[in-house]
Amino acid sequence: MHLNHKTFGQQQAKPLIILHGLFGMLDNWQTLALQFAQHYHVFTIDQRNHGKSFHTPDFNYHLLSDDLFHFMHQHHIPKACLIGHSMGGKTAMQFAVDNPGMVEKLVIADIAPKDYPAGHDAIFDAFAALDLSQIQSRNEADEQMKQLVPDFGTRQFLLKNLTRHKNGTYGWKCNLPALQQHYSEILANSLTPYDQFDKPTLFIKGGISERYIELPDDEDTIYHFFPLATINIIPDAGHWVHAEQPEQFYRLCMQFLTEQ
């Protein structure tokens, strides 16, 4: 099974693979991918059960890591730099400890290798509450979702999952039943105490993102799994650090990726 993807930049450049977060898709990274493509051969990927990639009833980080392994083999990529945000960051961490020889450098955006409490109930409720059979337009969907998701930016992000079929009806791109069924596995830390990735790793925390990377509490955990890690903070960014402060995010990544 093939993962939906887009490529940017010159084929002879170093490969850089970007992994989106929960409810996200490769389109979320288009602007930054074009910037990175000035220096890298960039691959943005829809992970399984997201975007236009295949749906399966199973979902966990070991499967997502295996998907990336097969993707790299299919595209003849022996080694790449990885950038992963949130859920995509956990995929990237799992892949790095599973296949350290295939990862040159690792960038993890606003997520740590730890278990998380549930925090997406309102979002799952908003998806479930939307009666797609009655929706005539994206604006109608936005109006219905507003009651449960008051933040406009979050709604716009979630509604990128809304797709219109050829017969005019609407559906969801992401596999909501699978994501909800395996939500506890999405929240969990999939790494074992013995896992370690001893290559350069950059963790980027959004300065106003509260629960995803908690400093100094999470430092010991991060350095346990990633002994060569650096932790940087982008002050005026929340959890969607790359979308809220793209220039600072790009600058930090490029500084790290090009360091000898």
- Residues identified as active-site: 86, 239
At 197, list the tokens: 């990735």
At 17, list the tokens: 């693979």
At 190, list the tokens: 């999939």
What SS3 class is residue 46?
Answer: coil
The residues facing 15 across adjacent strands are 41
Sign (positive or negative) of CA dihedral 164, 42, 223, 247: negative
β-strands 41-45, 15-19 pairing: parallel
Which among 48, 104, 41, 38 has a CA at the least distance from the CA of 71?
Answer: 48
Q: Give the integer Cα–Cα distance in Å for 11 and 116.
A: 38
Which among 109, 186, 100, 170 has a CA at the least distance from the CA of 137?
Answer: 170
Other Cβ atoms less than 10 A from the Cβ of 252: the count is 20
